[in-house]
Structure 1
């Protein structure tokens, strides 16, 4: 009888505890949904509630969810999975050693706060926080990566990256991609240095080789650019360059062309194919 009574009491205690957890989960779920639907939604408040739902495993007491990611995406809609974890990481900025006030995190903004969250509390110095408050995202991203590199051995350090995009004719892109596909396997490119990707090293090598091979042409270009800008305003000069030509008279000096600079006669035909002239 005593054993049965103890088991019954244990079931009652567990049931009461589960009932409380279910109630807490439902209440937090309502608060999260209300914040998501609010026009003046607070990034740090939402991040804190999501972090609590995850840390205390309260999502398990809501029906229909097998993991936290399922719950987060259900509540936040089409928000990507990475953004969900970014919000949780942002919440960490306001807690632990060197906490940052929530109002300050709000002013920093989502993208820069995510970068700052990559640092440990000890690495989030007042100087880094000031950078996040005042500087543009590319600057913050670079400073964060530099700070992370300080604690890494040389072979594991990484260079910060930025998006670099241009619009070119398909033939130009095809020619570059064909060269890149082979160039990344050159001995000097695949040198074992992991701080830059093979493609980044290949691109930088192209810049270095071009500067060295066409030093005379580049010097002439600098002089011509200076002459052009002294005769026209900077805005007019850039507009002419974008059109592919200039009305400024050429200085009397050797003339260079695309064919001589590339050391290969080429013509880009209407078909889009690049072939020998």
Structure 2
């Protein structure tokens, strides 16, 4: 027979192993007894219920808060702010006029370095725009230049030139080369006259002589050719005069004889 437990606290009585009267259980080993070292405090169940309720409410609050933030972000994307409308209009104008646009990663650039780069580019007739990819895609679509959407890869700083493509590529490449040891800035790809090109193309373009250098070389060649032609004409004139003088002297000598 399974021995019965001695009466204990109310909590222990409710959880004691009970055997109906008159039923004998087969014993295959020593008697099995349920032992309870000490009854739990009376407030244990209350604390457990309160804790469970609090955790549940906190979890629901976190879920609702995250959902509200997501809804807010989606609403912000759907409903443009006046600032975003202004930015899209500005980007649309820039994209429509650009002859060259170079996409760069500007991670690690300080504000001082950004100002230095903007100054360098301004001297080359270029601008730098730190843009949101979503706004750039919208501007590219409105400007009718879908190739600009391919410049949107990660955080984007777009260098744009409107006339001298070689000068823009040269100015940016020289700045990247001079600062590559201190900050992470790299040329990713670019749009040149409506065609998407890679970073190697921009590096090669930067080695081409600039417009001023080409004009100087052309002017030098033209001036050199003009001077050469002038010397040739003068030499021909001197030779002709010499021939005439020699013939005149020959005739004089013949008449005297």
TM-score (norm 2): 0.30
Greater relative contact order (CA < 8 Å, ≥ 6 in sequence) = 2
Q: Which has the larger radius of gyration?
A: 2
Which structure has the highest helix share of the two?
1
Whose strand proportion is higher, 1 or 2?
A: 2
Report the TM-score when normalising by structure 1: 0.28
